Amino acid sequence: MKNSVGREIPEYIESYGQVKPFDGALANYGERTKTSVKLRSVKPGDNKLVETIDEVLDKVGIRDGMTVSFHHHLRNGDFVLNLVMEAIAKRGVKDITVAATGIFKIHEPLVDYIKSGIVTGISVNYIAPGPVATAISKGLLKKPAVLMSHGGRPRAIESGDLHIDVAFIAAPTADSYGNMNGVQGKAACGTLAYAVSDAQYADHVVAVTDNLVPYPACPIEISQDYVDYVVKVESIGDPNGIVSGTLTVTKDPVGLRIAKLAAQVIEATGYIKEGMSFQTGAGGTSLAVAAEVRRFMKEKNVVGSFAAGGITGYMVDMLNDGLFRSLFDVQCFDLKAIASMRDNPKHQKMSGSLYGNPHNRGAVVNNLDVMILGATEIDTDFNVNVVTGSDGIIIGASGGHNDTAAGSKLAIVVTNLTKGRLPVVKDQVTTVTTPGETIDVLVTERGIAVNPARQDLIDKLKDTDLPIVPIEELKNIAERLTGKPEPIEFSDQVVAVVQYRDGTVIDVVRKPL
C-alpha cells in the first residue's frame, strides 16, 4: 500500500506486525491511553545495591526474548550498553531486543551479537553512521530495526507499543537507593532526559553508576521510587567520548552564506520578535544560523522565551546574554552545557516525552517558533531524508527531526545543494523521515525554496531581495552540477521500519542490492 507521502510500504511486515501507514502529521491526535505498569514494591529495609551486572541479571530474571533499554547521553563514550550486553551474551541468552535511544560506533560489539542471534531486534531514535547501522542495512538483524524519533520513543513506551523488560540507566551519579543525576561524577553528561520514560514504564529499572554517593544524591533527576536496583561498575564511560570538544560556528564560506540566508528568512517572516523560541542542532552551519539570529536579536533588542533541544555552549551563552529567558534541555552536548544545567535554574531539563511526544498533553516542540534542521536529501515535496545515505545504507534516525518539524511554526532546512558530488534536492528521497507538510523553507547556497503550502511566508518574502526560487529549480541546478545519480537498487527485504513520531510507518528501509 501507499501511505500519504506516497511511499510503497507492506501492510504486514514479518517480525514487526501489522503496519499503520502514515496518514498526515496531524492525523493521529485525540483520546490516548498511557499503559499500566507492573512493578515490585520495595519494603523498608530492602537493599537495592547489587554487586555485579551479572547478579542484576539474576534478579531481573533475564531470559530469551526480553527487551532491554539504554539511553545515549554518554554518546560515543558509553560503556554501559556494552557491559550489560556482554554479561547477557555470556549467559547464552538469545533473541534480545535492544531498545536504545542512541547507538554509536562504540557499540560495535552489537554486530557480533546480531550475527550470533543474541540480539535479534533493535529500536533506536538516533544512530551514528558506523558498524551497527551498516549491519542493519546488510540485513544481518533477524527482525527489522525500528527507527523512531526522540518524541516517538516515549510515545511508544507510554502507550505500551514498546514494552521494556529491563531498563539499564547509565547514571553518572547515584545513591544506593537509586536516586540519580547526570551532572556530577567523572562521567557527567548533563541531563538523563531520554531515560525518564524507561524509568517510568519498564518492568525492572537498574541504575548503573561509577559514582556511588551517600544517600540522598542531590540533585535528583530520576528518583528512587522508579528504581529497583543499583549496581556500581568501574567506569560507565569515557569522558572524551561523552562530551564533544567546543562546538563552533562553521568557517566554511558556503555554510556561512546558507546561515546568513536562513537568518534573513527568519527576520523577514517576522520571527525575530519578543518572546520568540528557537532550536537548532549542534552542527557548524546550524550554529552559524544561531550566530546570525543572535545578531538580529541584539539589533532588535529582543528577548526570546526559550531555546530547546540538545543544548550547546553556544545556547548557554545566549541564555547568559539575556537573549532567552530559559533553556529546555534534553541532552547536553558539551561541558559548558553540563555546567550550566547543573548551576543555572533557568537551564531546565525536559524528558523526552515533554520534548516531543505527540500523544501527551502538549510537548515543548508545540511551542517552538523556529527550528533549524539538516537534511541528507530533500525532495520536491519537501519530504526530508536523514536516515539513509546515497548508497541506501542507514546513517541515522530521526532524532528530534520530525518532532520539531511538526511542532515548530517555521521549520527551515539548511543544507548545501550538493554533497559529495551528489544532489541533495531530488525528485524522490531515498527514505522519508520527515513529511514535507511539516517543512516550511529550504535554504541552500544557491537559493531558497518555500513550501507552496505556506502562502503566508511566500507573501512575506516576495518583496525582499532574498533569492526565492521554486524547489524544482534547486533540484535542476543540483542535477546540472552533479548529474542525475543512478537510482540505488534494493532487494525486497525490509531491514528497518521508519516510524513517524505518532507510531505510523512513514517509510521502510530495504536492503540495498
Q: How far is the CB of 358 from its own copies (least distance, A)?
A: 6
CB-wise, 32 or 419, nearer to its own copies?
A: 32
**Which cell numbers in the block locate residue 228?**
529497583
Q: How far apart are CA 289 and CA 266, in angstroms?
A: 10
CB-wise, 306 or 382, nearer to its own copies?
A: 306
Q: How far is the CB of 497 from its own copies (least distance, A)?
A: 22
Q: How far is the CB of 322 from its own copies (least distance, A)?
A: 14
Q: What backbone phi and psi angles, to 5 degrees, belong to 109?
A: -55, -25
CB-wise, 353 or 390, nearer to its own copies?
A: 353
Q: How far is the CB of 407 from its own copies (least distance, A)?
A: 5
- What is residue 99's three-state secondary structure? strand
Burial level of 415, CB count in 10 A (0-12/13-18/19+)? buried
Q: How far apart are CA 386 and CA 377, in angstroms?
A: 7
CB-wise, 114 or 406, nearer to its own copies?
A: 406
CB-wise, 118 or 217, nearer to its own copies?
A: 217
Q: How far apart are CA 424 and CA 474, in angstroms?
A: 9
Where are the alpha helices (H) located in 91-144, listed in sequence order?
Answer: 109-115, 131-137
CB-wise, 2 or 38, nearer to its own copies?
A: 38
CB-wise, 113 or 306, nearer to its own copies?
A: 306
Looking at residue 163, the DSSP 8-state letter turns out to be: -
CB-wise, 203 or 210, nearer to its own copies?
A: 203
Helix (H) or strand (E) holding 12: strand 12-13
Q: How far is the CB of 408 from its own copies (least distance, A)?
A: 8
Q: How far is the CB of 16 from its own copies (least distance, A)?
A: 24
Would you tell me which residues interact with its own copies (CB under 8 A)?
26, 29-46, 48, 177-178, 205, 214-216, 218-220, 223-228, 275, 305-306, 325-326, 328, 345-346, 348, 350-351, 353-354, 357-367, 406-407
- What is residue 70's three-state secondary structure? strand
Largest CA distance in the chain: 73
- What is residue 437's three-state secondary structure? helix
CB-wise, 214 or 253, nearer to its own copies?
A: 214
Q: How far apart are CA 211 and CA 186, in angstroms?
A: 8
Contact 120, 64 (CB under 8 A): no
Q: How far is the CB of 42 from its own copies (least distance, A)?
A: 4
Q: How far is the CB of 24 from its own copies (least distance, A)?
A: 12
Q: How far apart are CA 424 and CA 164, in angstroms?
A: 37
Q: How far apart are CA 329 and CA 350, in angstroms?
A: 6
Q: How far is the CB of 185 from its own copies (least distance, A)?
A: 16
Closest CA to 378 of 324, 315, 420, 430: 430
Number of Cβ within 10 Å of residue 32's Cβ equals: 14
